[in-house]
């Protein structure tokens, strides 16, 4: 460890231990500070940046973070090649949409999947989007020809789509970015630092209504930053919104941060429906996976927890790891699977942090929205099996009103139904768990599109997708 590192570690430790602003007396998960209950600290920005007094083990982790994060940034400019050197190339890979109503077709798809020639990108009872690696194309084409299976090629060269997905900002945007005080835009998919910097900026700029807290750490030690918007009125309802459970679904954190921006920047003129709610946003549930999709593998889905024991495979599917009916249908016990459920309910630090937050919070949540992509669905429980909650008619009715708002605003068609009924059973999802806590309006929202771009939705779609979904969110706010 160099002397500069030691100095930084020391400074970090001193600043962390000595500054105990008012806001830090509240543990994450307890009722957050509001204008009426807690005096706001003068330096809100410092306050949200600092953690509560850490123990020795935490300091060690912090020291590692400082070594990892600060030293390269401050001394050696980041080598752009280092970002790309181990990047997975999807040149020649394709995505097809296949009609699967025929039992014979289902059988062939199942065999090709277990032979690892194809992977499912998602689908419903009538069609499936399949991803095919270049070296499997010849084989799969022949199999489909033999089986007389028809299909549409949705993506002819996946790498080309990836290369075109997230173009750099134009000069106007770059200039605006410099003046704005944060780097976030909705014209580009941003890295985690930009997203977290944006949340901190808002907490600093609007301390009377906005606070940011880390509800825990990811496996690799990144903060799970949650932002709360509230005018502190007693009797407010509470709504929880998360994004980015699945790493590759970039449109999700983009849409959730769009909502945050809208409410934060316009709170004074927002409707009473919006102001009478305490909003809790966790835009990136899976920060390790999210960064990994930017750095290495655009199509990574799970978190980045190292495989233990005999498994060398990394990561669990966080949306199979929640603790209600964990381990059931539509999840896998095989660590290399993309739907690996983890070693037990809440075995992953990211889901554990969410469950702890809900255990300790004083907020009374009446809605839980979790944003995913893709497919354009508004899904309500149950997901674990083909069953419906007692109040499913209410969920269906509000869901349909939300879908109607989306259609009126942007023209997109979203289907509404239970996730097991409309799609397929999948146990261990966050929506089922939230519903099991008694949160009435619980939805998984699968954002655009329906397969033309799939997970690799161009950044130019962020604003239209976010706008129409904001209309749906307003409908929800009027109903909770
Ligand atoms: Zn997802």
Q: Give me the interface pTM, i.e. the ipTM.
A: 1.00
Distance 319 CA to ligand 1 centre (A): 7
Is the residue at 432 inside a domain? yes
Q: What is the mean pLDDT of residues 319-335?
A: 97
The confidence score (pLDDT) of residue 145 equals 94
Total domains, the chain: 3
For residue 459, the tally of other CB atoms under 10 A from its CB is 20
Please indicate, yes or no, whether residues 291 and 414 belong to a single structural domain of this protein.
yes
Residue 31 a catalytic site member:
no
Please indicate, yes or no, whether residues 302 and 386 belong to a single structural domain of this protein.
yes
Query: CA–CA separation, 166 vs 191, rounded Å?
Result: 11
What 3-state class would DSSP assign to 146? helix
Q: How confident is the model at residue 386 (pLDDT cuts 50, 70, 90)?
A: very high
Four-residue CA torsion sign, 201, 204, 206, 212 = positive
Q: Identify which has the larger pLDDT, 236 or 36.
A: 236
Tokens matching residue 40: 């706001």
Is the residue at 443 inside a domain? yes
List 173, 446, 463, 468, catalytic entry: 446
Q: How confident is the model at residue 13 (pLDDT cuts 50, 70, 90)?
A: very low
Tokens matching residue 30: 């307890």
Contact 458, 165 (CB under 8 A): yes
Give pLDDT tens digits for 64-121.
332 232 223 333 333 434 555 589 999 999 999 999 999 999 999 999 999 999 999 9
Please indicate, yes or no, whether residues 4 and 119 belong to a single structural domain of this protein.
no
Is the residue at 161 inside a domain? no
Distance 318 CA to ligand 1 centre (A): 9
Distance 17 CA to ligand 1 centre (A): 38
Is the residue at 163 inside a domain? no
Range of the domain at 221: 169-480
Is the residue at 87 inside a domain? no
Give pLDDT tens digits for 389-399.
999 999 999 99
Give pLDDT tens digits for 165-220.
999 999 988 888 878 899 999 999 999 999 999 999 999 999 999 999 999 999 99
The confidence score (pLDDT) of residue 76 equals 36
Please indicate, yes or no, whether residues 331 and 428 belong to a single structural domain of this protein.
yes
Distance 77 CA to ligand 1 centre (A): 34
Q: What is the mean pLDDT of residues 429-445?
A: 98
């Amino acid at each position: 460890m160099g002397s500069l590192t030691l100095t930084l570690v020391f400074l970090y430790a001193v600043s962390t231990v000595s500054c105990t602003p008012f806001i830090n007396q509240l543990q994450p998960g307890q009722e957050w500070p509001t204008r009426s209950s807690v005096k706001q600290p003068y330096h809100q920005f410092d306050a949200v940046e600092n953690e509560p007094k850490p123990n020795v083990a935490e300091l060690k982790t912090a020291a590692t973070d400082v070594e990892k994060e600060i030293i390269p940034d401050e001394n050696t400019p980041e080598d752009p090649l280092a970002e790309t050197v181990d990047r997975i190339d999807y040149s020649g890979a394709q995505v097809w949409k296949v009609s699967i109503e025929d039992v014979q077709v289902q059988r062939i798809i199942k065999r090709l999947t277990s032979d690892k020639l194809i992977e499912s990108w998602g689908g419903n009872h009538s069609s499936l989007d399949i991803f095919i690696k270049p070296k499997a194309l010849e084989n799969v084409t022949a199999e489909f020809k033999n089986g007389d299976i028809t299909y549409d090629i949705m993506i002819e060269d996946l790498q080309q789509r990836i290369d075109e997905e997230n173009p750099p900002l134009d000069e106007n945007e770059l200039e605006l970015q410099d003046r704005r005080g944060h780097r976030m835009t909705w014209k580009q998919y941003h890295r985690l630092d930009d997203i977290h910097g944006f949340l901190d900026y808002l907490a600093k700029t609007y301390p009377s209504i906005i606070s940011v807290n880390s509800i825990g750490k990811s496996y690799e030690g990144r903060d799970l930053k949650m932002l709360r918007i509230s005018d502190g009125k007693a009797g407010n309802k509470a709504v929880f919104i998360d994004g980015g459970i699945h790493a590759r679904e970039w449109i999700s954190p983009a849409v959730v941060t769009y909502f945050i921006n809208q409410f934060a920047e316009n709170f004074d003129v927002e409707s009473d429906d919006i102001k009478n709610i305490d909003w809790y946003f966790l835009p990136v549930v899976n920060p390790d996976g999210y960064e990994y999709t930017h750095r290495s593998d655009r199509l990574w889905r799970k978190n980045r927890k190292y495989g233990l024991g005999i498994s060398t495979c990394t990561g669990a599917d966080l949306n199979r790891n929640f603790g209600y009916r964990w381990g059931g249908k539509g999840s896998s016990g095989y660590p290399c699977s993309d739907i690996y459920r983890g070693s037990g309910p809440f075995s992953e630090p990211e889901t554990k942090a969410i469950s702890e937050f809900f255990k300790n919070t004083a907020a009374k949540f009446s809605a839980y929205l979790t944003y995913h992509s893709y497919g354009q669905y508004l899904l309500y429980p149950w997901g674990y099996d083909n069953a419906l909650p007692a109040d499913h008619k209410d969920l269906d009715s509000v869901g349909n009103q939300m879908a109607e708002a989306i259609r009126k605003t942007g023209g997109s068609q979203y289907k509404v139904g239970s996730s097991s009924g409309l799609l397929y059973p999948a146990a261990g999802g966050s929506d089922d768990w939230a519903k099991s806590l008694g949160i009435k309006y619980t939805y998984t929202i699968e954002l655009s599109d329906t397969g033309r771009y799939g997970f690799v939705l161009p950044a130019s779609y962020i604003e239209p997708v976010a706008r129409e979904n904001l209309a749906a969110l307003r409908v929800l706010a009027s109903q909770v």
